[in-house]
A and B are shown apart, each in its own frame.
Chain A
Amino acid sequence: MIGKLRPLVWLLLALPALLMLYQLASGETFAFKLLHPTGELALRLMVLALMVGPLIAIFGRNRFLLGWLALRRNIGVAAFIYGLLHLVFYVMDMAAIGPILDEFWLPGIWTGWLSFALMLAAATISADWAVKVLGPWWQRVQYAVYGAVLIGALHWYWLDNNAGPALVHLAPLLILWALRGVIKRNRRARKKAREKEHLA
């Protein structure tokens, strides 16, 4: 089922990028204006990729969530591609290495680079063979995306001087992580109680 859906999902994920590149090529827009939409999409897609894990932990496995899980790697790669476009448009806008280095250590800038580096780490091993070769290490490297999403949100906050938009984007994840924590704790407590009963 997902196999048939995958090309359609790819098309859907690629559509905003194609539109942006078309607008750029036709002179309708310019690199600076595309910084915001690409960064926002990268963050949104990362959130979308990370949401499914806690959702399954909370609601259990169902067809919808399993389908979402099967597409998670595609969503993650798309997030990386929008992050890469974000960086490309940034370099296009700055147009020289001097000013890029000059502002590297500003809080709003190094956070963007760091978030991208973490995404890069996760994205470079996104191929099927890498999943097989790396075994348990694959999952460990993917945890970098947690850092990428949080630092990416910090990058947005420090650039904008406004926590609102970044926090709204993080909110679904923060809520789900909190709920997963609560549910896991409850389950553990119940299990312990049952074991105690058993022993008594």
Chain B
Amino acid sequence: MSIAFVVPRYGDGIVGGAETLTRGLAEHLAARGTPVEVLTTCARDHHTWRNALPEGREVVNDVPVHRFPVRARNERLFGRIQQRIDRGDPLPIEDQLAWAEESVSSPSLYSHLLRHREGYELVCFAPYLFGTTFWGSQLVPERAVLIPCLHDEPYARLPLIRAMFEGCHGFIFNSPPEAELARRLYAIGDRPWGVVGLGFDPPSPPSPERFRRRHRLEGPFLLYVGRKEKGKNVPLLIEYFLAYRERFRRDLTLCLVGEGPIQAPRGGERAIRDLGYLGPSEKLDAYAAATVVCQPSVNESFSIVIMEAWLAGTPVLVHAGCPVTTYHLQGSGGGLAFGDYFEFAEALDLLLGDEALRAKLAAQGRAYVLEEYSWPAVMARFEAARERLRG
């Protein structure tokens, strides 16, 4: 009996929180000799979901991966319904189902799951918001384990999603606040669950100077890493930063790393540097070179970014409205939190003006990651969760 992971995308060069998490868990399980399989689609791009990778079986880092083609999608219908969900409009169940159907979906993956279900000890679906998770978990409810990567957003409150959660056998959450949210939103009090999270290996020594030279950065800079979108609170960060810079520190720069629709406002180009997507090693240099890493998002289920910042030796500034990042902050003491602009300005002032404080906070953060989120610690939690899920 093996453990199956069902995830819409998988493989080299595919970035994303749930994708990184699934891959880490699958590879570490395989390395420990646990039979494991990944069922995924041929898609690489999470906007188009076009079939780009060859169908069939391959082995990626000792993990058998089965790829199945994505069914043709009605993207216009999907986009229309998605907009209505974003606006919080009440949706008839037909539209919710159509939305799940036109999200990424793969009938041949479902056939495989149905035919081979007896061979799987557990089938882990990640993340919660895709067709493969919704439809797949309907077929194997008795062994379906959801790794939802959940945060509070309109999608999480759809009756369809509620039904999916309440139909699953059990759950693996990334953090205790995520588990609390799920148990508040859905009637799943009697189901087995565990908190596991993602593991990290200590990174190779970064080169902050190389990063500063390449991007001609002088003086202190605040770093944001992640998708540049409203849902991640990037407009708020930009406004706060510009207001702070104008009043207190004319030499401060904000660097944005990642893709997304948000552009730096006109007139702010010199203060805000949009660096776009960076590869893993350059991103690590960026974390190490930054004076402070800011994570303004209130919608997180884990926040890889703050862990990476701590490992690179930089303290973080997080939004006090996010249960997950503040949970990590309380556990680690690796930075400060702000509830409004005034606290943002005060906290930033304190951090920019005290190098010794920054170093201490970052060291506390790093110790927390190495203790709580090293791979051995994460795999021990996974095995404990697996025991409970097997019941």
A and B part of one assembly: no
Give chain B's interface residues, CB within 8 Å of chain A: none
